[in-house]
Amino acid sequence: MAIIKYNIQYHHEIRKDISKLPTNIKERIRKAIENRLIIDPASYSSPLRKDLTGLRKMRIGDYRVILEIDKDIIVILKIGHRKEVYNPPIIRN
């Protein structure tokens, strides 16, 4: 079985999301992205439904990373607390 190396891209507005997070949470999210998501995004994330079909979420405690997988590219669209991450709507490009 061939190992696919995924590249991470961040949506241009992700800086707003990251700047609001506590420092310890930023570090947990960074480690989760680098150690789990890049290796196997399908196993470490779950598909979203309804209006967000085609997107996935990775759970890190009470925080969520919303992402889209396109071949060997993982696009991080939004990062935030589970109560706030889905509102306002997620912008896809």
Alpha-carbon gap, residue 26 to 36, rounded angstroms? 15
Quick one: pLDDT at residue 90?
74
Q: How do the domains of the chain map onto residue ranges?
A: 7-81
Quick one: pLDDT at residue 93?
63
List the chain residues with pLDDT less than 70: 1-3, 93
Quick one: pLDDT at residue 31?
96
Q: What is the 3 state secondary structure string of the chain?
A: CCCCCCEEEECCCHHHHHHCCCHHHHHHHHHHHHHHHCCCHHHHCEECCHHHCCCEEEEECCEEEEEEEECCEEEEEEEEECCCCCCCCCCCC
Quick one: pLDDT at residue 87?
82
pTM of the predicted model, to two decimals? Answer: 0.90
Quick one: pLDDT at residue 73?
94
Quick one: pLDDT at residue 63?
97
- Matching CATH number, 7-81, of 3.30.2310.20, 3.60.21.10, 3.40.47.10, 3.40.1010.10: 3.30.2310.20
CB 90, CB 76: distance < 8 Å: no
